[in-house]
Structure formats: C-alpha cells, structure tokens
Amino acid sequence: MATIQTVLICPQHWGLGHVTRTIPVIRYFIEKNYRVILASSGAGSDLLRMEFPQHKVLDLPDYGIRYPFKSMYLNIGYQMVKMHWAILKEHVAIRKICKQEHIDLIVSDARLGAFQFGKPSIIIAHHLHFSLGFKFIEWCCDTWMKLFYDRFDQLWIPDVEGPVNLSGELAHLYRGKNRHFVGLLSRFNKLDVEKIYDFAFMLSGPEPQRTFLEELVLSQVKDLNFQKAILIRGTNEGPVLDELVQKQNPNLIIKSLLTGTALNEIMCASKVLVCRSGYSTLLDLAVIQTRAILIPTPGQPEQEYLAMELMNKKLYYSVQQDALNLKKDLKHLENYSCNLHFDEVLTLEARLNPLLKKLETNR
C-alpha cells in the first residue's frame, strides 16, 4: 500500500461552477496536509489564485466551449471535434504535470482527459445522463460519457442519496462503476448579515451567452426601483463599466471576480439573487437560502431541466433568457418559497476519508 502525498486538483472551466464546487474538496486535502497542486484555465485559474494564493496554480488547455445556438444538438455537433482535440491536449498536459510534480493522485472536475494510466484518479461530476427527448440519442450520449468516466477509479457525485436530492435524473439514473455521493459541495455558509443589496446579479457560464445576459441585465436594471444593487460579471474579460452604464445606474456596483468569502457575504446580504440555474449555483442556494430568479443558459438542457424541476416544486421562479423582463419577473417571487434545503447528516470529511483510504489500499 503506497501513501498518497501529492494531489493534483484540476477543475474544468466553462463557467466558474466547476471551479467553485471543488473549493471544499481543495480545502479538505489542504487540511489533511497533502501537498496540493492546482490547475485550470482562463478565469478558473484566476479564481484559484485568488482563493489559494499560497498554492501553485498551473494552466491547462481550455476546452473553449461556447453555446452560440439555442439548440443543444447544434451546440454538440458544432464543437464535438474541438472538444475531443481539447481532451487529448489536456491528457498530455496533465501527464507532463504528473511527471514534473510527482503527482500521486488526480482529482478532476469534469476534465475528461485528466486520467492517467497507472495513477489513481477521481472525477467529480453530476451531469451523467442527457435528457434530450430521444431515447437513442440519449443512449449514445450517455454511453459516450460513460466511456470517459469508467477510466477514473472513482466518480464523486456532489449530491445526496435518496429520493430527496438536487440532481434528479441527471445523476441518479447513472449506474456506472465506483459511483459515490459526496454530499452538497458548496464553499459557502449561511451568514446572519444585514440585507444591504436589493439585488445581486450573478453572471456565469460560457460565452457568448454570459455576455448576452450581461447586456440584458444592464439594459433592464435602470427600470428597477432599488437603493443599492451589485452585478458580478464572473469574468475579467471585456469592459467592466463604461460612462453610459455608470450614468444610467448610479446605485449599481459592478465587480468582475470575487473571492469566495466576499461572494458569500454579498449573496447573504442580498434580498434577491438573479443567476443561472447551473448546478453549482443551486448547491450554493441550498446552503445560503436566499430568494432567487433562475435563468437557464440557452442550449443547456441540464440547466433548463433543473430550473423547471425547481419551478414545478414552487421553490424558485425561472424564466428563459430571451423572455427576461426583470420588472415583471420580480413580482412572481412571492409565489415561491425559495427554501431549497437538505439535512446533510455526514460531513465532507466523513464521506471522503473512507474513499481515500480505499484508493490508497488499492494502489
């Protein structure tokens, strides 16, 4: 039995959700005194450097995932070849890091090329089933994904077991080997702070949809009545604030990227959140219990499924991006409880300790 000493943790970046939900896992390994090396791309690497300035953060090839179409079929066909090429480059880059840094264990979040032959590896994922409406296409997509997931020693699902869960059929229909539920991964805590923001607009996700939503929010926010609001862009790219926007919205604060501590405080200090229905965002909402309007990213059936499920349960109001009308949509919130809560019995440490022990035993 060989001891694991150095861990490479490499979250995907097509939006910051994959990066943010790995933060509790990163903290777990740091607190256990493992040597931790981090790797991501783009704003994902920037965020990791903000959160963990004392740790080495390396850059990996970016998948360059974009969602230019409203149809998931067109989006998949448009970038399938590019995605496979990115996975190959990623695999080679991580192999080089493993040799240079003497990595004993790889923990990937949605980086399908992170596995290395002869080296223990873990992948964090929740979108394990594609609900596309056509059984044969669903089977093809599920089988394609399973070919990648089965190359990892363990699959960690950020959700809870049982009928009351967050991911629904996205994760609970998956029957692959070495599947383990590790609880609701969120870097946040529910804080008892004063509500100083009327609204917090949290942008995220792949381009160009992130920019489209930013433009929509900025065009509509001037029609809202508020004392103080904040918009978090989720990227360092592009202009942060021009003179026209500042003149139209004098009470709107705009930030690019924030540390988890600052974002946790802002989300808890906001009366209403306007955000994507990305899975990592929902994990955070389950913890902080703040009212929210959910806007699925166009062309992402996963987000559309999650938003519709929560809306049908009268938990959160959801609206399609093209139909967004903030002045009208905010009036619907009073009909939704916004109480997405799970009683988590086991701590993250209690869930991960036996899984790591099993990996070390099998080395």
pLDDT in tens, 298-321: 888 889 999 998 999 899 999 999
Q: Which residues contact 324 (CB under 8 A, 6 or more apart)?
A: 213, 216, 220, 295
* pLDDT in the model for residue 241: 56
Domain identity same for 201 and 324: yes
Q: How many CB atoms lie under 10 A from the CB of residue 281?
A: 26
- Provide the CATH number for the domain around residue 145: 3.40.50.2000
Residue 283 is assigned to a structural domain of this protein: yes
Reported confidence tier of residue 13, pLDDT bands at 50, 70, 90:
confident
Residue 110 is assigned to a structural domain of this protein: yes
Domain identity same for 251 and 102: no
Number of domains making up the chain: 2
Mean pLDDT on 326-355: 88
Domain identity same for 173 and 84: yes
* pLDDT in the model for residue 33: 96
Mean pLDDT on 21-35: 96
Mean pLDDT on 323-340: 91
231-266 pLDDT, tens digit per residue, is 999 887 766 555 566 677 789 998 888 888 999 999
261-286 pLDDT, tens digit per residue, is 999 999 999 999 999 999 999 999 98
Domain identity same for 232 and 289: yes
* pLDDT in the model for residue 50: 92
Residue 1 is assigned to a structural domain of this protein: no
* Full domain range(s) for residue 271: 197-335
Among 10-19, 106-115, 194-203, whose mean pLDDT is lowest? 10-19
Residue 127 is assigned to a structural domain of this protein: yes
139-161 pLDDT, tens digit per residue, is 666 777 788 899 999 999 999 98
